[in-house]
Structure 1
């Protein structure tokens, strides 16, 4: 591939930053993250979800390659070009590299689960006037995700008064206690920060060509400060269950907003990507099932050439991340 064809890599990174990629990928990550709890043991279900994620990444990349009319061999050659004009967010590297590395995938999923619970908790706090409406959790959010959360916050506040009238007194008291609780938010923030550190560690190990000297035990997060007032264990369990119910409602609202985002993009995009757009919509159609059992991509044949695209992209992004880190250290 000639230097004039170096647009291929820049074009794909642009695609990865847009809604046709982000809507299905983030929808999958959020819905499937629900069973990835801090300290969870690896099991066959987690591995199966990772395999499903690999298929999703390969499916979306393969659809885009078909849209722009190049072969995996051409793309692999384009990835060998010396430089790229396109910058990318580190979460892009995490999303692609997670398909190749289970440890990165697991940490990414646990962190997402905790972030969703924090977002659901902050929505409750905003409804009860405990924190300002402008405060949105998640420093790693892209502008598109921030826009989605702002719209969700707006709708949630509008619906709050009407819904309060339908809640029984016990539920209203539970919701208010959860919103005012500093312990629950502190726990979630500490666990999220710990998982972020473990994800960064896994990323550094994946970027290093040297194997780890020996397997290290997982670091334990710092213990939470003692509570000023002890909470009854049953009450604590009820709060956590209610918070997860609010997280599931948040997921449904996010999905609706992403559908609107994708439709708006498809309507305004002058260069049509029919196969990748249909692929994104197929994934969203699969996410209408119960989040604990949904199958995003049933009966899809993925050949080795599509896998070749993901491998080449992951290696190229790895080079870009290393170069970025070296630039920061100079």
Structure 2
């Protein structure tokens, strides 16, 4: 095998690793659980930056475990990232996940989007339980193209990676099967809140508006990062899209209830992801054993150390080159 072929193999193997459950289970579990304090329109704070540092450590830790499994050193890894051609396709989400460890603005936007996405998914599950699909779920003919694309991405689970789509579909299925039992556990106030949420357009429209804006801001942050530009434009205020005929206190109650449903969804997602990881380990027990142990360590909440900062930077630069066509 020639030198170029060897480097290409390393890079393609890495991309397959980033697309698989050993990477996705700990990374997505971290992003989802830690995203809960990242709210649209809320200024960044010390906790946000602390979580960003934790994320850097996680990314470095998982990349380090991959190198150990492959038996390659940082120099070989960086050389492959810098010179090899990439033959394996990858979704831009992978670039965002890696690049976010190096750029707080990208990380923040990614986390806010995930928080909003989880609330939308929780609302979708509630609606499926009740068999209600509001008009706001159907893109209008005169909706701007960009907004319609975002709405379609939210509602069309085919836009998700296959593993994530399988997880959400399994949760929906279980939710429907347990609907009667769940309803029996709810008090009258909670049942009224659920019904108000699934029948009202206000909260759905608010979340869709925030998600569209955050998607735009994430794309802008990515462009700024890859172009090394400085953002001098003022932050745009979110439009108030709440219905005027709903009491603000009632809106707040609905939002808090939906966030509670989001938190329950998180627990179910983690359980399903752990099943995916277990299935992968059973089907390929000798494949990436150190990476699998690393993923398990992260899920268990154990302390991890990171020593591969330059490796992450090399990978981010390689993925950036693929994204912007350098």
User: TM (normalized to structure 2)?
Assistant: 0.89
> Could you list the per-position Cα deviations for residues 69-100 of structure 1 after superposition, in whole angstroms to 9, with x for gaps in the alignment?
00000011111224211110000000000000
CA distance in 1, matches of 2:159, 2:322: 19
- Equivalent residue in structure 1 for 2:196, among 177, 190, 198: 177
Kindly state the Cα deviation for residue 233 of structure 1 after the two structures are TM-superposed: 2.1
**Contact 1:114–1:188 (8 Å) recurs in 2:** yes
Q: Alpha-carbon deviations, 1:233-269, whole Å to 9, x = none?
A: 2221111111010000000000000000001111112
- Structure 1 residue 271, shift from structure 2 partner: 4.6
Shift in Å, 1:221: 3.5
Task: Call closer, same or farther: CA 1:269–1:280 in 2, change over 3 Å.
Answer: same
Structure 2 match to 1:274? 289
| 1:99 partner SS | coil
Q: Is the 8 A contact 2:167 2:273 kept in 1?
A: yes
Other-structure match for 1:302? 306
2:261 equivalent to 1:246: yes
Q: Distance in 2 between matches of 1:270 and 1:7?
A: 21
Alignment of 1:53-202 (within 5 A): 53-131=55-133, 136=155, 140-202=159-221
Q: Which residue of 29, 32, 39 maps to 1:30?
A: 32
Report deviation, 1:186.
0.4
What SS does the aligned partner of 1:20 have?
helix
- In structure 2, distance between residues paired with 1:82 and 1:285: 35
1:293 corresponding residue in structure 2:
none
Equivalent position SS for 2:185: coil
Q: Is the 8 A contact 1:114 1:192 kept in 2?
A: yes
Between the aligned partners of 2:63 and 2:227, the Cα distance in structure 1 is 25
Using structure 1 for the length normalisation, give the TM-score. 0.88
Uncovered stretches (5+) of structure 2, i.e. residues with no partner: 135-153
Count of matched residue pairs: 305
Aligned mate of 2:237, from 203, 220, 233: 220
User: Equivalents in 2 of 1:187, 1:267: separation in Å?
Assistant: 43
Q: Would the aligned equivalents of 1:122 and 1:137 in 2 still touch at CA under 8 Å?
A: no
**8 Å contact kept, 2:4–2:84:** no
- Alignment match, 1:231: 246
Higher helix share: 2
